[in-house]
Structures are given as structure tokens and as C-alpha cells.
A and B are shown apart, each in its own frame.
Chain A
Amino acid sequence: MARTKGYPEALEKKLADTRLYEDERHPEFTRTVEKISMSIPHMCYQCGTCTASCPSAPRSSYRIRKFMRRALLGLEEEALTDPDLWLCTTCYSCTDRCPRDIAPTDVIMAMRNLAAQRDIVPVNFLKTVQAIYSTGHGVPNNDVNRAARKKLGLPADPPTTHGFPKYVKGIQSIIDHFGLKARADRIVKEREG
């Protein structure tokens, strides 16, 4: 357990004991992540191939290798509350190259699932849910795109739910089946009022 010294709050925070203590480790977390991801993060030897393959890493503080370490040690809080968890593009480059044959992408996905169960999801992800619910698209068409499409000789709207809006209903029933929309609405409301 990290120790506190009873200083005023600001100082306490600044001088906080950041050492790793055994009670932060939850072996159950490692097992759950492995079960959901169907991968083996406990075999990570921290080579960094994944981070070096990651298109997110050069321009953010996201380090996939660090999440693998957290999965291995069972650092549940640290993993699930780190906003970087949501910076993976799911490109699978790391999975292609990992010499230990781990699928870091799937490990990230598993952790996101676990975070979402605790309502830890960035609002923009929830807004994507809302967008898919109302239009069938995570990134709906807009006027700029429509103009660009026309210029290229394409129909303004693609032959998706944009071209066939009657199918949006089907997508909605899938999302409703999992209660995803209601959940997104609730959390967005709690956060943004």
C-alpha cells in the first residue's frame, strides 16, 4: 500500500509515493484479459516491437507495450483508467510483428471491454455509438464529403444506410439488443448534463 504522510492535499499529491506495491496487482485481471482477448499477454518480454509498429505511438503518449506490462502484472486500475487505452486504431500492426506471438490489439480490446463495463469510456466513443444508431455510420456523410464525391463522379451518398435509410432500423435493433445506445445516452448525459 502506498504510504501517505498527512501533508496538505496539493503537496501530498506532488510527493505521492509512486512505487509499485503488491496490493495493486490483481492476477484475476490478467486471467480475465487473457480469456476475453484469447491471447497471452503474460508472455510479453517487453521488446517494444509493438510500440515501434504502432501508428499511434509517435504522436501520442500511447504505449501499447506499457499496457501489455500492465496486463501481465494485473495492474487493473492503472490500465483501465489510463485514457491512452482508447488511442489504439486497431490496425493490427503490433499483432503482425510481436515475436512472442501475442495479439496486443486484442488485449487492448479486452481491456476496453472491461473499462466500458465500469462506464470508463471517452465521450467521443459514446458519440460514435449515437451516430451509428441514428445514421448507421460512425462518421456520417457531410456536405464537404458530398461535394467531393460529386466531383469524383460518385453519387453524393454511398450505397450504405445513407443511400438506403430504411436499413438504419436493423442496425438500431442490433444496438438495442445489447443496450448500447441507452448506456451511451446515460453516460453522455451524466458527463455533459
Chain B
Amino acid sequence: MAEKKTKKESAAKKEPKKAAAKAAAPAPAAAPKVTPGKTTAKEARIGVYICHCGTNIAGSIDIPAVQEYAKTLKNVAHVDNYQYMCSTPGQKKIENDIKEHKLTGIVVAACSPRLHEPTFRTATKTGGLNPFRFEMANIREQGSWVHMHDREGGTAKAKDAIRIAVAKASLLEDLIPKAVPVEKAAMVVGAGIAGMQAALDLANAGIKTYLIEKNPTIGGRMSQLDKTFPTLDCSQCILTPKMVDVGRAPNIELMTYAEVEAVEGYIGNFDVTIRKKARGVLTPAEAEAKGIVGGGCNGCGDCDVVCPVIKPNPFEMGMKPRKAIYIYHPQVVPLIYTVDFDSCVKCGLCVDACGDKKAIDLEMKDELIKVKVGTAVIATGYDIFPIEKKDEWGYNKYENVVTSLEFERLICASGPTGGHLVRPSDGKTPMKVAFLLCAGSRDNTGVGKPYCSRFCCMYSLKHAHQIIEKIPGCQPYIFYMDIRSFGKMYEEFYYRIQDEGAKFMRGRVANVLEDPNTKNLLINAEDTLLNRPINLEVDMVVLAAAVEPCESTEKTRKLFGVSKSMDGWLLEAHPKLNPCGTTTAGVFLAGVCQGPKDIPDTVASAEGAASAASIPIHMGEVELEPYFAQCIEEKCAGCGMCVNLCPYSALSLVEKDGRKVMQVTEAKCKGCGTCGGFCPGGAIWMQHFATPQVVAQIDAFLLGGEQ
């Protein structure tokens, strides 16, 4: 409809832009670098560039028609199109035309600003304009791609998008990004292998790093594993040296049994409050600070012996007892006991046993600690999905059905059975073991998880190997749909395990039944390669259970303002090009909390996150996009209502020339617009999204360019 209007018509109906802009904009105020409300001084002259993106855009949008249309728009001084605007020749066009055509603003109609806004801003700047005089019209993601089969509609929409962008570009103003200093410290939340690696890298790069772990020890899931595929090295053996390094690194301040309680601030300046949970035991350093010379916990375990309260040890998946005062396992870092105050009866026997070390304080309270960091890495890992929800496999119903993590503990020499795999029902050695792959993964019923958990194929191969090696004559059956062995030396590992005698049954298990007398298990599946149903009796079933983010991730992610994707894992800034970043500047992701990863991938992602998190710290300062609110002081009535509305506490009231006016702490303002939309007097100018600019966009859309 709008594009039918001739140039003559639309031009005739409109007032000169300059006058309109001036009328809408408030008088300039004296204050900061950028004057709120100051619009383009000279007549707007906009250059419009339409990108083909190969055939991505040109394939479904009529570029010549769009170009002809753009020429008819008010304020447009130059229009061009190019195969790939983001290429060097494309950018050069912008740079040269700014001078040649005396342009005051640039519009590129191409892909999403998330992709190339920085590219074209740079070109705009190189051409001699303020980079914020650039506006992008998305005619790819929101145009050609969604209207692939509607050339006419897609073309009409592209014209609309360009008209709207030109309207805004005509009113854009010069803005100057704000540089803020970056605190030379980082935080890593979660001390599994991902968090440990990230912390070590940051510390080695000379950055003070706070490592926060909710459990009493670092190590995460990896410390529960027996061996690691595909090399089969002992998990603890390769992990403990790193744990020790973390414990010793002078640049790492390790806080175990601690959680993040509150986060304030922004990149470069996060104020984080940490809750150090009362662990009831003093470290030697804490004891010394209290004047107990030579005291504090030395890990002797005298307390453990006398404590009368017995609880299941979560590290052993509840298959081994611990006391109310406990350590998870002998290699914990730090080697400090912890009192479980939920089950402690305060009998005081441990206090006596500890004696002169005076390490135990049964009245200890939680402590809140505040630290300031420039960047943060979240590495909160994973948990196993509650597999009993898939009741057809009988977990929690049949004793000899275990999860893969329970299997890891049962086959581990330091585990509850000393590494002898036994059936929970009768302690007998199983001679036939079925491994059920994709247990709860790749499940679209709404009960399980739709994604592939990515490491269960490989660890099930490892498990098969372990029982063949440890129990002569024991037969592993692997029930699978696909074996995903895509990593380096992984397919070779699959070959090896098949060669060792594991039987691969290509079929997903429909259900497991128990023989109540023998506690043996009956497996119903189809051998889809033989085309025959199978009924197999085994001694033990191991469920390669799906994984999901730890429950505690939710609170942490919200505090740091990180989103999650549809599947629940934390959302990266870009799945391919920025997998460690998040949409919150200065916050990064490492390890499985972003999505299932085996150890090699986890470590790689942790190193990536550490590197990304160290960049702002090494740069010393970061530029904040200047999308701040500004107060137009002449209009501000000093009512202060905006101050309470701001979700980021960026506003305050100050005395100026004998009256109260609002003031913005620019570094805190996220440009959300809450205050700007609210102010009854229209005294708040949202830079880059100012009312006249947004109104011009809406008018351009609704009125087809009339103002």
C-alpha cells in the first residue's frame, strides 16, 4: 500500500523534516558530553545500502524494486546495492559515499544487527561519521528467510523495514560510548573440572580469581568417575593434581560450601555477595585468626570416628554411609571436615575428640562476604535426570537397576564395594549386564529430554570394557539406537570394545521386569536388525540416564541475568560464534551447564571462557554502549518517581541550582527504558531510542512515511 504512493505525493504532504525534528526535540540542556535531545544539526542526508547476501536475500526479495523505492524516501540522498555489504568492497562503498554524498546517516538493509551492526558501525566511523549514526534494517532473518515463498510480501516488508530505518536514521545523534574501568579480579561459580580449569587459567594469567563451590569439596562429577574414555586413565589420578593446584594457586581464593547470594553491577564492576555456609569447622587459617595457635582442621578424622549420626554419602550416590561430620572422600580439596547441621544432634563428642585443635564450632553461623569482580564464569555443571520418571525401566522399583553414576561408584576401587561390581539385591557378582542407552534422552514424550546427552554412548562403552576386564566371563549387552562416537579416537574405542566381546543390540528397551525370586531382570526390546523381539534375562541393568542442569543453576543464572535455552541449559550468546559468552556482558559459560559435553570438550570450553573473561580485565576498561537515559533538567519536576522504578538502581535525585532533579549513573543504566516510558513530564531522553526517534519509526510504518 505504502509503496504505491509516488514520491511527489508523499513529499507534498510532509513538512520539512528539520522543522518537525526541531519541534519534537526539547531544547538542548547544558550538562553532559552528549546533549539530550540534540538532533541532527544539518539537513539529514541518508545513504541506503541493500545487501543481496548472495541469494540469501536476493533469492526471495526483488532488490531493484526495493532500491527504486528507497530512492523515493524523504531524506534519502544515495541508494546502492551490493552482493555482500559486509565484504571489504561493500564497506568501502559506505566509507567513500559518506564524503562524496555528504551523508549524515547510514542505513544498511541486510541481516540481523546482532551479526553485522558492529561491522557497519565501524565503516560509518571510518567514513567520518559518528558510528551511532548507523541503523540496520533486517531484511534477511525477518524478511527473505521467513518469506522465502512469498516474493511479493517479502519485498513489501523489506520496503517497510527500510522506510522505518530511514526515519530513525534521519533523527540519530552523535553518541559517545562510556568507558568504565574493569576490576582486576574474576569469579568462577562451580568447581567441577570446568570451573577448576577456568579458575586455573585466569589465575595463571595473573588475575585474582574467586572460585565458588556449593559442595564441601571441589572436583564435581569427574571425581566420582572411575576411568575416563577413550584413554581409560583413572579419573581421580588425572583430576587430583589439578585439584591440588587449585587449592595452592596464590591467585585463587577458593570458597567451598558457599553460594552466590546476590549480584549487582555490570561488566567490569560486579559486586557479588557470597554466602559462606556454616560448615562448623575452622580451617587452620581461620583458627589462627581466632588466636588458636596451631589449631584448625588438619583432616585427621578423629571427629568422624566418634560421631554417632549416620547418613548416606551423596558422593557415593547414597551407597556408603557418612557421619554428621564428614568429608566426601579422602582426596577432598580443601581437606576440611564439614558438619551437616541438618542431622547433627549437637552431642559434642566430636568437639572433645578434636581436642586442642579446637577446629569444631557447633554454633557457627552462615557468613556473607562481598567481593568485587570484573567478569564472571558460570560452570555449574549437571545432574542426572530423575530416571524413575520413566517407570518402564524400573529404577527405584527393582534393586538391580542402577544408574550409570551408581555404576561408576560400584566399579571404582575407592567406591563402596572396593571396586567389586555387585548386585545391590544380594551382593553377588553379575555375569550378564545390560546397558540401556538413551535412557530418558532423545525423548519427545515430555517425560524425558529431547536432546542427546552426548557422553552416555561413550561411557557405556567404557562400562562394558570395565566389566569384561574385571569379571572374567561377564557378558555386557549394550542396547542402543545409534552409537555416537564422534570424538578423536572414539570410533576406534568403539571398535575395541566390540572386539573385546560386548554385544551390541540395536533396539531401545521397551520395558524391564523383575523375577521376584531371583531378582534377575527381564529385558524386552526388539533387535531391529534381526527384526525379532528379544526377551533377555540379565543380572543387572545400568541406565545411561539423561542429564539436566543442576537445580542450583537456576538461582545463579538469574542473579547473573543469564537466560536458558528451551532445553534448560544456559544460553550462549551465539551457538557457533560465541559459545562461551552470554547476553550479559562480562558473564561467560564453561562446561556442561551450557549443554552436555565430555571432559575434553568441557576443558576446551573452560579455557575458552577463561580467555574471554580475561580480555576485559587485561584491557583495563570496557566501553558501554551509550544507550543511557538522560535527564532533561528543564522538564524534570524532581518528583523522583522514576528513581524507584529503575530495576538497576541507576537513578537518584540531586540538588542542582536550588532544586531537585534526577541524575543517571550511566554505567548502571542498561537502557531498558522503564523510566523513559514512565516520566509524566517527558523529562527522560533515552539515548538512541529517544521518543522522537521511536515515534518517527512508528509513523513511518503506520503512515507510510508521513509525519
Does B526 sit within 8 A of A, measured CB to CB? yes
State which residues 94-147 of B face A: CB under 8 Å.
none
Q: Are B444 and A48 in contact (CB under 8 A)?
A: no
Central interface residue in A46, A48, A100, A101, by most chain B CB within 10 Å: A48
Q: A63-B531, A97-B392 are in contact. Are A48 and B508 (CB under 8 A)?
A: yes
Chain B: minimal CB distance from A124 (Å):
24
Residues of chain B with a CB closer than 8 A to A100's CB = 444
Chain B: minimal CB distance from A70 (Å):
13
Chain B: minimal CB distance from A65 (Å):
6
Residues of chain B with a CB closer than 8 A to A58's CB = 533, 535
Does A99 sit within 8 A of B, measured CB to CB? yes
Q: Are B445 and A53 in contact (CB under 8 A)?
A: no
Give B505's nearest chain A residue, CB to CB. A48
Residues of chain A with a CB closer than 8 A to B528's CB = 46-48, 51, 65
Distance of A46 Cα from B480 Cα, bound (Å):
11
Give A46's nearest chain B residue, CB to CB. B528
Does A150 sit within 8 A of B, measured CB to CB? no
- Name the one of B445, B481, B509, B526 contacting A45, with C-beta atoms under 8 angstroms: B481
Q: A58-B533, A63-B531, A97-B510 are in contact. Are A51 and B526 (CB under 8 A)?
A: yes
Q: Are A52 and B525 in contact (CB under 8 A)?
A: yes
Q: A52-B526, A66-B531 are in contact. Are A47 and B446 (CB under 8 A)?
A: no
Q: Are A52 and B534 in contact (CB under 8 A)?
A: yes
Q: A48-B528, A52-B524, A52-B525 are in contact. Are A99 and B442 (CB under 8 A)?
A: yes
Distance of A97 Cα from B392 Cα, bound (Å):
8
Q: Are A49 and B508 in contact (CB under 8 A)?
A: yes
The B interface is mostly helix, strand or loop, or mixed, namely loop
Central interface residue in A47, A63, A65, by most chain B CB within 10 Å: A47
State which residues 51-90 of A face B: CB under 8 Å.
51-54, 57-58, 63, 65-66
Distance of A99 Cα from B481 Cα, bound (Å):
12
* Contact flags B480-521 to A (C-beta < 8 A → 1, else 0): 010000000000000000000000001111110000000000
Q: A45-B481, A57-B526, A57-B533 are in contact. Are A52 and B507 (CB under 8 A)?
A: yes
Does B448 sit within 8 A of A, measured CB to CB? yes
Distance of A66 Cα from B528 Cα, bound (Å):
9
The number of chain B residues with a CB under 8 A from chain A is: 24
Residues of chain B with a CB closer than 8 A to A50's CB = 510
Chain B: minimal CB distance from A39 (Å):
12
Residues of chain B with a CB closer than 8 A to A48's CB = 506-508, 510, 525-528
Does B356 sit within 8 A of A, measured CB to CB? no
Residues of chain A with a CB closer than 8 A to B510's CB = 48-53, 97
Residues of chain A with a CB closer than 8 A to B352's CB = none
Does B443 sit within 8 A of A, measured CB to CB? yes
Distance of A48 Cα from B603 Cα, bound (Å):
36
Distance of A133 Cα from B211 Cα, bound (Å):
78
Give B442's nearest chain A residue, CB to CB. A99
Residues of chain A with a CB closer than 8 A to B526's CB = 48-49, 51-52, 57, 63, 65
Residues of chain B with a CB closer than 8 A to A46's CB = 481, 528
Residues of chain A with a CB closer than 8 A to B442's CB = 45, 99
Q: Are B507 and A47 in contact (CB under 8 A)?
A: yes
Residues of chain A with a CB closer than 8 A to B443's CB = 99
Residues of chain A with a CB closer than 8 A to B392's CB = 97
Residues of chain B with a CB closer than 8 A to A99's CB = 438, 442-445, 448, 508
Chain A: minimal CB distance from B488 (Å):
27
Give A97's nearest chain B residue, CB to CB. B510
Give A61's nearest chain B residue, CB to CB. B531
Chain B: minimal CB distance from A156 (Å):
39
Residues of chain B with a CB closer than 8 A to A49's CB = 507-510, 525-526
Residues of chain A with a CB closer than 8 A to B511's CB = 52-53, 97
Residues of chain A with a CB closer than 8 A to B509's CB = 49, 52
Q: Are A47 and B445 in contact (CB under 8 A)?
A: no
Give B523's nearest chain A residue, CB to CB. A52
Q: Are A101 and B507 in contact (CB under 8 A)?
A: no
Distance of A57 Cα from B525 Cα, bound (Å):
11
Distance of A48 Cα from B527 Cα, bound (Å):
7
The 10 closest A-B pairs by CB, nearest first: A48-B526, A52-B510, A47-B508, A48-B507, A51-B526, A48-B528, A53-B510, A52-B526, A99-B443, A101-B444
What are 20 A-B pairs with beta-carbon distances under 8 A? A46-B481, A48-B527, A48-B528, A49-B507, A49-B508, A49-B509, A49-B525, A51-B510, A52-B509, A52-B524, A53-B511, A58-B533, A63-B526, A63-B531, A65-B528, A66-B531, A97-B511, A98-B445, A99-B438, A99-B443
The residues of B with any CB-CB pair to A shorter than 8 Å are 392, 438, 442-446, 448, 481, 506-511, 524-528, 531, 533-535
The residues of A with any CB-CB pair to B shorter than 8 Å are 43, 45-54, 57-58, 63, 65-66, 97-101
